[in-house]
Chain A
């Protein structure tokens, strides 16, 4: 009954819509705990899907499900305290929609059928749109509109991609269920031309959701306008789920013997995303937008790593885990900053090191982590990707890669030092920080740190078998 991981958040989400805010917060945390427990049970192989024609347990799916569930738990713990401090007219909508959102993301990680995956990704858009609109301001409306519009265009193109993949089946005279697991076995019989066309549309479609440039334009707006816990969810969980769509398409092409073609496209999109993020992060005025561009950069890194192949795929998978942990921690800290100063602009903040020591520690550590400093995991994953790229002889790509990383570090560090150390002009603190809102950030950072020092063997084996399907291995 693996589908329970989808059904439970769906049901409790429905309840939460009608519960008073205080009870809803409790329900959120309880559901998050229950979801994590079910995920761990699925991870240990205790529960299996009841509808194997639509859902399946895959290594990469389980990996992303675990990350999503883990991050969700800490974000909902944070949300309990955050929601008390913010004035939101309809808190039950937040609780209901985050739970629905969790359900749809879970569905993405387990979907096996082409169309089920497509429906699940479409559903994540619909369920998360109310979260972005939660503050009901003009800018929130604009961000929500952009989000729904651009992602819907993406989703429509992804459907076209699904059509083409199915057409490739028809032309190859293949009669099998339209699931990724069955297509895998007969991939070489598929018509290569239409399979390639399908891949391009799938990558554009799901890549829009993942935030790959140049389809990323919704992302900075949505991430900066959503309430911080929702931003953390969007960045730490949703982007991974969309990535899974791209990954599955790449997997299919690799098995059909067209891996070179799809790798090149992924590397191209990856590098473009990193460069665009580097350009836009430089003159950024809002710190949440800065974090959003950093998400675009990191999605670019993951796409790059997957595209390069070999050792870099292992790095990309590690990067995915650590990016989720560190970035959601950063967005949670950004929520504290926003509560404290009451502004999303970097210029209105300052002297965080003195005024908000706990938040400062979490934020600065998170920044160091996301920039790739040891002892956080992103250091390891980026080094692995770079080594992997050199092993494959992709010297030009890796030069651009490193150049973009340096640019982004330079741009972001200017803003972060401004926030943390330069004097604040009118230091009236609106909301004091407290442990309830800083501990979840620390916990997420600590998880990244711990995984860097000691990677559990089951996690290691899962990553290895996940990347084996696209020809990646630890030995290059």
Chain B
């Protein structure tokens, strides 16, 4: 069982690095779908979650449905429907982003190592993956211009939080709290709806260039 979960974790890290390096929006959406599926499968292969109650199995299925199917489908629709220009438009270049991504892994490993003192279970890899995903998501959110890429960054960050939740979930208390992370997916859904409904292309809307960056301080 442990080996499968480790394989899934490395796939997650891989998807994080891929997303930082990809320059096509559609590819990014596909990577997110893949990451969503992997992330929502991970709890199934963790020893600490066994034996599973019917409730948690049911919840896992819902997460799989939302993260793997619903939100990527939404993103796909958004990219197609409003004819967003296909390039990602980075503020920080792809190679530099990749280097950032790799350094996040190092930092995550360092942090996890340091915190080992009081973490309840031997889940080093899980913690490292989770922190990396969280940091890379935040980075993607800040380093890309398009509104839809920001949403993707947010989604990734949220996957990281879900993973941290799973890493910590052992006793009864945490199990009841982690589930509420699903509400963050609701936020993601609403943001994508906003993009579709209001045709937001870039977060600084580019229809009228005179308006660009109007909300700024001198």
Of B56-64, B72-80, B179-187, the stretch lying at the interface with chain A is: B179-187
Of B34-42, B98-106, B202-210, the stretch lying at the interface with chain A is: B202-210
**Which partner residue on chain A sits nearest B175 by CB separation?**
A166
In order of increasing CB-CB distance, the 6 nearest A-B pairs are A170-B171, A221-B215, A283-B218, A152-B187, A167-B168, A166-B173
**Which partner residue on chain A sits nearest B214 by CB separation?**
A139
User: Shortest Cβ distance from A179 into chain B, in angstroms?
Assistant: 12
* A193 touching B118, Cβ below 8 Å: yes
Residues of B near A289 (CB, < 8 A) are 217
User: Which residues, 370 to 393 on A, are CB-close (under 8 Å) to B?
Assistant: none
* A156 touching B154, Cβ below 8 Å: yes
Bound complex: CA of A289 vs CA of B154, how far in Å? 27
Number of B interface residues in the complex (CB < 8 A): 44
* A119 touching B177, Cβ below 8 Å: no
Bound complex: CA of A248 vs CA of B177, how far in Å? 18
Residues of A near B138 (CB, < 8 A) are 153
* A138 touching B180, Cβ below 8 Å: no
Residues of B near A175 (CB, < 8 A) are 172
Residues of B near A163 (CB, < 8 A) are 161, 164-165, 168, 174, 177-178
A114 on interface, CB distance cutoff 8 Å: yes
C-beta contact mask, B195-206 vs A, less than 8 Å → 1, else 0? 000101001110
User: Shortest Cβ distance from A142 into chain B, in angstroms?
Assistant: 6
* B154 touching A149, Cβ below 8 Å: yes
Residues of A near B190 (CB, < 8 A) are 126, 148
User: Shortest Cβ distance from A297 into chain B, in angstroms?
Assistant: 14
Interface pairs (22), CB distance under 8 Å: A119-B183, A126-B187, A126-B190, A138-B205, A139-B211, A139-B214, A142-B215, A143-B215, A144-B194, A149-B154, A152-B154, A152-B187, A155-B184, A159-B181, A160-B134, A160-B164, A163-B177, A166-B173, A166-B174, A170-B174, A194-B118, A220-B215
User: Which residues, 390 to 411 on A, are CB-close (under 8 Å) to B?
Assistant: none
A91 on interface, CB distance cutoff 8 Å: no
Residues of A near B207 (CB, < 8 A) are 138
* A138 touching B208, Cβ below 8 Å: yes
A145 on interface, CB distance cutoff 8 Å: yes
* A115 touching B177, Cβ below 8 Å: yes
A101 on interface, CB distance cutoff 8 Å: no
* A138 touching B211, Cβ below 8 Å: yes
Question: Taking A143-B215, A146-B203, A160-B164 as contacts, is the C-beta distance between A153 and B154 under 8 angstroms?
Answer: yes
> Which one of B117, B120, B147, B161 contacts A160 once the chains associate, using CB atoms below 8 Å?
B161
Question: Taking A156-B184, A163-B168 as contacts, is the C-beta distance between A145 and B174 under 8 angstroms?
Answer: no
* A285 touching B215, Cβ below 8 Å: no
**Which partner residue on chain B sits nearest A122 by CB separation?**
B183
Bound complex: CA of A285 vs CA of B218, how far in Å? 8
C-beta contact mask, A187-220 vs B, less than 8 Å → 1, else 0? 0000101100000000000000000000000001
Bound complex: CA of A11 vs CA of B164, how far in Å? 37
Bound complex: CA of A77 vs CA of B157, how far in Å? 42
Residues of B near A169 (CB, < 8 A) are 173
Bound complex: CA of A167 vs CA of B115, how far in Å? 13
Residues of A near B187 (CB, < 8 A) are 122, 126, 148, 152, 155
Residues of A near B200 (CB, < 8 A) are 141, 145
A162 on interface, CB distance cutoff 8 Å: yes
Bound complex: CA of A323 vs CA of B142, how far in Å? 33
C-beta contact mask, B133-176 vs A, less than 8 Å → 1, else 0? 01000100100000100100010011001001100101111101
A118 on interface, CB distance cutoff 8 Å: yes
C-beta contact mask, B65-108 vs A, less than 8 Å → 1, else 0? 00000000000000000000000000000000000000000000
User: Shortest Cβ distance from A219 into chain B, in angstroms?
Assistant: 11
B191 on interface, CB distance cutoff 8 Å: yes
* A148 touching B191, Cβ below 8 Å: yes
Residues of B near A145 (CB, < 8 A) are 147, 194, 200, 203
User: Shortest Cβ distance from A167 into chain B, in angstroms?
Assistant: 5
Residues of B near A162 (CB, < 8 A) are 177
User: Which residues, 88 to 142 on A, are CB-close (under 8 Å) to B?
Assistant: 114-115, 118-119, 122, 126, 138-139, 141-142
* A139 touching B184, Cβ below 8 Å: no
Bound complex: CA of A339 vs CA of B154, how far in Å? 38
* A119 touching B180, Cβ below 8 Å: yes
User: Shortest Cβ distance from A183 into chain B, in angstroms?
Assistant: 11
